Structure 1
């Protein structure tokens, strides 16, 4: 089943609705830190890989701190009739 979305600011990715603005912001942050880490790394063979991965992790952490989830969870109590 696909949910019909009336808000044009959201797009469906992996069966979840994502705000386009937040998605693009997170991608820019992660790419910036990944490429920054890659380019400041020393020239030895494995170092650009490690610095790039470190930059990607830092970008992910910063993105998760800046972009807050917009979901609301509602709890509902089940009645005894539903249990039988």
Structure 2
């Protein structure tokens, strides 16, 4: 009985750090980390781009995609799955 209570308390504490974004559960720290990574890689791409008019935009977009890939490899989803009985 004590193990179930301790497990419930641990789960409640862990859920307190999570927020729901687009019907998915995300840790606030992970969200801020991914925003920082994407912003840093986008600015890096923009700053190393040649001065021709369309290239800074393209380099910045490639930087965002690289930041997204890095974030998706580092940060794992925090999904909660609930199965409901459809017979009711």
TM-score normalized by structure 1?
0.73
1:60 aligns with 2:60: no
Q: 2:79 aligns with which of 60, 71, 74?
A: 71
For residue 16 of structure 2, give the secondary structure of its aligned residue in structure 1. coil
Gapped runs of 5+ residues in structure 2?
A: 1-11
Count of aligned pairs between the two proteins: 73
The residue that corresponds to 2:7 in the other structure is none
Deviation beyond 3 Å, 4+ runs, structure 1: 70-75
- Measured after TM superposition, the shift of residue 15 of structure 1 is 2.6
CA distance in structure 1 between the partners assigned to 2:71 and 2:20 by the alignment: 19
Could you say which structure has the greater relative contact order, defined with CA pairs below 8 angstroms and 6 or more residues apart?
2
TM-score normalized by structure 2?
0.70
